[in-house]
Chains A and B, each alone.
Chain A
Amino acid sequence: MFLRICHLYPDLMNIYGDRGNVIALQKRSQWRGIETEVIQATVGRSYDFRQFDIVFFGGAQDKEQKLVCADLQSASQELQTRQGDSLRMAVEDGAVVLGICGGYQLLGEYFRTGEGEVLPGLGIFDAYTVAGNRRMIGDVVVESPFFPGAPQKTLVGFENHSGQTFLRNGLQPIGRAVIGNGNNGQDRFEGAVYKNAFGSYLHGSLLPKNPWFADLLIERALERKYGDKVELASLEDDLEILAHDSASKRAATRPRLAT
């Protein structure tokens, strides 16, 4: 079996070590004998994202996020659509997408910055983001229904954002932040899910210490590609579970300001 992974704008959208997510997808595929190819997508070129099995979209600083936003809105001559539409069509087609932080925000409808500027998103998630007046920084533990068979049912990571994301019309979150702020610090939701597209605020990197999430993405990508129900071979995950549990413990014990 073979997976084509697209790392969107790795030179622009790779802050807080998010490239670890791509490394995790690659390694956990390879360890099971699934070959991978990683394509680094850059600004100014056009891609038909339906040809990818997994697309990863990381976070960035404001300036870079604007450049990426402009690129996604730009027209692709070959495809006769905007870049962003190509990605949206891929999601409708069942492609697996993971957006973290800035990438997650751009998968929603729009991001209104602190200066009132509105950056249009792709509208894949029925969600919008507005800049808040405080930065939400710290460890996060999320309880999620997506991993019933995993050794832990939680996701752990580190959030660092001032944008507050709100889900609309019953859009499903990845889970509930039991520690930390999550999407907006108000409704305790963390992340968003539409078809096989996932968005989250968790850095860390997220996938290496939440290997059940990495495996869910790989599984869904293989099922879309090969049509059958996929049962992934289990891996020795002692170190990953150790990292997960110690992050989770750290989150619970770290002194934090009342929110």
Chain B
Amino acid sequence: MRLLLAVWMGKLYMHLARAFHMGGGTSFPGILARKIEPATLRKLSLRLKQGAVMVTGTNGKTTTNKMLNNILKQVGISPIYNLSGANLPGGVTTAFLDHATLMGRPKSDLALLEIDEAAMPRVAADVVPRVVIVTNFFRDQLDRYGELDHTVALIRSALATLPASSTVLLNADDPLVSSLGKDLAAQVIYFGLEDARQEAGEKFQTADAKFCTNCGAEYSYSAVYYGHLGKYRCPRCGNARPDPQIYASSIEIEGMQRSRIHVVTPQKQFSLTLNLPALYNVYNALAAVGAALSLGIEVEAIRKGIESVSSAFGRMEKISIEGKEVVMALVKNPTGFNEVLHTLLSDKQPKKLMILINDNPADGEDVSWLWDVDFEMLAEPGIVESTVVSGIRAGDMAVRLKYAGADVGRLRIDGDFKSAFRSALAGVNPGETLYVLPTYTAMLDLRKFIHKMGYVKNFWEE
């Protein structure tokens, strides 16, 4: 009875929030329902016929989930799906409420959930997942999570509670992630890369995962893909990268548009075209393949589903304004920012850039991370035609570019993102592209502004 009341109140709030454009519609209904019936999420999730898939880790959660969602579409399942950003218990519960009947039954058989790393233990206490994916661990918004080791420990404690019927998919190439595979009751499957041509990644600067999770000695790497992902081995205790059961044996990156990969799994091998650039999306695809296979989905549906996810680079959005292209890619941590820059610069055409850095809680209040991004690559002559810098911390960004050796004469700084965007756009000729790199809340602000300017309605709702 309490459950029904919780469902009704939550749904009521959700409708009101939508009707009156109140804030908090993505997580407050769930929080409210949990106040009325703390077991709301547990009870609703028990009624899922096919269980839940959870994706956690620093980068790639949203893209991996999107791939899985498209795969499920191929087999006629439309899962319960939480919006990116609504990945705490309140947001997850809201997603369940949204997909529940008034009698408290889920309308879908399956839930596809993106879970914040720090929230994993709390969510997993309510929803026993059938499949869990852990993508990678990078330093991200440390001011929110404390230290990376702590985050890893949280996920470890969540995975330790899973029964043998659950499957855990772990990135073999990330030593912090692969270390989670020890001593679990659940079945563990590793995914990774096995293409020697990609082994020329730059040695990492930062200390995300330099030391053996077992004995503390420094890992030696025989290959680095990017960041601390690669083929590592502890010279002292022998702790090493596990052989992945699901891997990409050949990867052809084709600029900012796509890559072609050959995927090997214990069941079958197949090629697929990934309409997303860069190695990190290969990992996302492998994770999605693994999860879909665990759900018993056929290879053909998997291939079609993954191929239907596209964007020109990263989690990118694209819009035409008066014959000019605006391409927007979210930046939120050094690794992601470096990947975006690498992708952006890969075709050697001079670029017009706009960078927006905010320091709200959702962006990370500490902007120190900008110093871990290799902006030095922008200093190469002829690579950047102009840069407009904006956002609450435009000053910090401008100083970073100056010390990276960028041409300060071509730098325009405007703390007001609206006028900054207008002037950046004015500097682009019809047929040209403006590349916009915002942090999370800067992206939300800019979307709203572009929407108000009257350009393309549902464009952002991809």
Binding site for B on A (CB under 8 A): 10-20, 23-24, 27, 43, 60-64, 67, 135, 137-139, 158, 160, 203-205, 208-209, 239-240, 242-247, 250, 254
Contacts and interface: CB of A to CB of B under 8 A. Distances in A.
Given A20-B371, A63-B149, A204-B367, A247 B396 contact: yes
A27 B207 CA distance: 24
A239 B408 contact: yes
Contacts of A205: 368, 371
A23 B371 contact: yes
B398 A243 contact: yes
Contact of A250 (B210, B359, B370, B403): B359
Contact residues of A: prevailing secondary structure: mixed
B227 to A, nearest CB: 14
Interface stretch (B115-123, B237-245, B387-395, B436-444): B387-395
Contact of B146 (A16, A19, A135): A135
16 contacts: A15-B207, A16-B369, A17-B368, A17-B372, A23-B403, A61-B149, A61-B207, A62-B147, A67-B216, A158-B365, A204-B367, A205-B371, A208-B399, A240-B399, A246-B394, A246-B396
Report the contact-size class of chain B (Cβ under 8 Å from the partner).
35 or more
Contact of A16 (B368, B392, B396): B368
Interface string B358-391: 0100000111111110000000000000000000
Q: Please provide the 7 A-B residue pairs with the shortest distance between their CB atoms, ordered closest to farther.
A: A17-B371, A243-B395, A20-B371, A17-B368, A242-B395, A16-B368, A246-B395
A250 B392 contact: yes
A12 B359 contact: no
A243 B206 CA distance: 24
A19 B372 contact: yes
Contacts of B413: 239, 242
B403 A27 contact: yes
B409 to A, nearest CB: 11
Contacts of A246: 392-396, 415
B207 A18 contact: no
A11 B398 contact: no
Contact of A24 (B148, B368, B369, B403): B403
A60 B147 CA distance: 10
A20 B207 contact: no
Contacts of B415: 246
Interface string B138-163: 01001100111100000000000000
Contacts of B206: 14-15
B335 to A, nearest CB: 13
A16 B365 CA distance: 12
Contacts of A240: 399
Interface string B338-371: 0000000000000000000001000001111111
Q: Which one of A24, A139, A158 has the highest number of Cβ atoms from chain B below 10 Å of its Cβ?
A: A158
Nearest to A59: B368
B210 A12 contact: yes
A27 B403 CA distance: 7
A19 B149 CA distance: 21
Given A61-B149, A63-B149, A250-B393, A204 B402 contact: no
B211 interface: yes
Given A18-B371, A139-B365, A209-B399, 9 more contacts: A15-B139, A16-B142, A16-B366, A160-B366, A204-B396, A208-B399, A208-B403, A209-B395, A247-B396
Nearest to A241: B395
Contacts of A12: 207, 210
Contacts of B211: 63-64, 67
